[in-house]
Structure 1
């Protein structure tokens, strides 16, 4: 097994403060698990910075919540990372992502209604590391603004990184109760 040790019981000083801050911030939003932050806490400063970016995406970004969750579910299916899918599918439904859209993603389908069709095309470009065609970029900016377009693209990168942490270090799925609020 490739799991890293859980350092949380032995953290001291600044590492301990970072751990407690991450726990408190997540608990305040109803999330009672650390998931990939457990292996990341072997490098507390890195864990802190990654968690801050994740916090922004989850709770402060300008994207509509259903679009945010759609991007995460697309990444989960394309990368075949069960943890990310299981950790977000209920939150996607709670955010208003239509069940038909969730099911299409689950089935690896590609026929999505607006605006998810647009987002799907953008994620195709992001995951292929290729330029977004001007007409598609213009449509995305009209729908989500430049900030939203940037968030869609960088969200693909963020959750790719989190999928790598989950996969490389065999992060176990938390209980369904602990996943609430994701």
Structure 2
């Protein structure tokens, strides 16, 4: 780890208030990257609130939103992010074959057209830096404007998460081994 993470006892009032707000939220804990973001308490507060919104309050169930998160984690080879969200994707009902395909940088087979669209949009955002008109039109038709905005939000937020985890070299919990190469 390249950054010293603060314990609650070592936090100033702003940091501690942000930390306590996160712990009291839907996650029930402070998300790992927030522990680095606490060096900028206002940023940590806003980023953590955005993360909670995107994780728990989009129009998509976890089975679908985790596709965008996993594509983002794989794009950035974010070991911690992949480890954390693979577990959440499995818990949300995402097929392990889809997860393995994303891990291996293969296009998964989807039975659900929305899942396929989320994958295509996330891949295009990361690799193409946007959406070509035909993909945009198809995404609007299938997901609607709100859905597309929320997929963009998921990819953008988890890009920031992945950059944070990678930059500060967050390790996996003891005994865990990364699946990403």
1:175 to partner: Cα distance: 6.4
Could you list the runs of 5+ residues in structure 1 that have no partner in the other structure? 177-182
Q: If the length of structure 2 is used for normalisation, what is the TM-score?
A: 0.84
Residue 82 (1) aligns with residue 83 (2): no
> Which residue number corresponds to residue 9 of structure 2?
9
Q: List per-residue Cα deviations over 1:101-154 (Å, max 9, x = no partner).
A: 112112221143133332222123211354422322222122221111011122
1:33 to partner: Cα distance: 5.1
> Which residue number corresponds to residue 179 of structure 1?
none
1:86 to partner: Cα distance: 0.4
Matched positions, count: 173
Q: List per-residue Cα deviations over 1:39-91 (Å, max 9, x = no partner).
A: 11111111000001000011111123212101111111121111011011111
Q: Which deviates more from structure 2 when the two are superposed, residues 138-147 or residues 162-171?
A: 138-147
> Which residue number corresponds to residue 44 of structure 2?
47
Q: List per-residue Cα deviations over 1:135-179 (Å, max 9, x = no partner).
A: 222221222211110111221111111001101112233469xxx
> Could you say what secondary structure the match of 1:9 adopts?
helix
> Which residue number corresponds to residue 58 of structure 1?
55
> Which residue number corresponds to residue 143 of structure 2?
144
Q: Which deviates more from structure 2 when the two are superposed, residues 77-86 or residues 119-128?
A: 119-128
Correspondence for 1:95 among 86, 92, 117: 92
User: Structure 1: how far apart are the matches of 2:128 and 2:48?
Assistant: 24
Could you list the runs of 5+ residues in structure 2 that have no partner in the other structure? 176-181
> Which residue number corresponds to residue 179 of structure 2?
none
Q: Which deviates more from structure 2 when the two are superposed, residues 135-144 or residues 7-16?
A: 7-16
User: Structure 2: how far apart are the matches of 1:103 and 1:17?
Assistant: 39
Q: If the length of structure 1 is used for normalisation, what is the TM-score?
A: 0.84
Given the superposition, is the C-alpha separation of residues 42 and 8 from structure 1 closer, same or farther in structure 2, using an over 3 Å criterion?
A: farther
User: Structure 1: how far apart are the matches of 2:121 and 2:97?
Assistant: 20
Residue 38 (1) aligns with residue 8 (2): no
User: Structure 1: how far apart are the matches of 2:29 and 2:160?
Assistant: 21
CA RMSD of aligned residues (A): 2.1
| Aligned structure 1 segments of 4 or more residues deviating by more than 3 angstroms | 31-34, 128-131
